[in-house]
Amino acid sequence: MLGQPTFTIIDGVRRAKAADIAFLRGRGPGLIRAEVVWRGRVAATVELAAGSLLSPKPVIDTSGAGLRRWLHTLRQTLAGSEPPIIQVERGASGTPIRDVTVL
């Protein structure tokens, strides 16, 4: 990813992970719509490659209601629904979305 900007997810880790899984299974473009936040405001709306996304958390917790939320998001995305827009900020800290574990 040398030279390409990376973005830390503010809101939408599940959606981003689902979009990445769909892409890996050949069921999605590997892009997700995102609002880029700068100084507390939305500066732009763009499509970002999953490879440029970093998660502030290394794990998606599916305990309790988390399982229902995760499965709903994943099923919709695999069925071809475009995930709702996520929010990101430019940054280099976090776990690459492809490396986020679903537990």
How confident is the prediction along the chain (103 residues), in pLDDT tens digits per residue? 456 899 999 999 999 999 999 999 998 888 999 999 999 999 999 999 999 999 999 999 999 999 999 999 999 999 999 999 999 999 999 999 999 999 9
Q: What pLDDT is attached to residue 27?
A: 87
Q: What pLDDT is attached to residue 1?
A: 46
Q: What pLDDT is attached to residue 22?
A: 93
Per domain, the residue ranges of the chain are 7-102
Beta pairing partners, 9: 88
Q: Is 102 exposed, middle or buried (0-12, 13-18, 19+ CB in 10 A)?
A: middle
Q: Is 11 exposed, middle or buried (0-12, 13-18, 19+ CB in 10 A)?
A: middle
Judge if pTM exceeds 0.75: yes
Tokens 């499509």 correspond to 47
Q: What pLDDT is attached to residue 2?
A: 55
Look at strands 95-96 and 86-90 and give their pairing.
Answer: unpaired
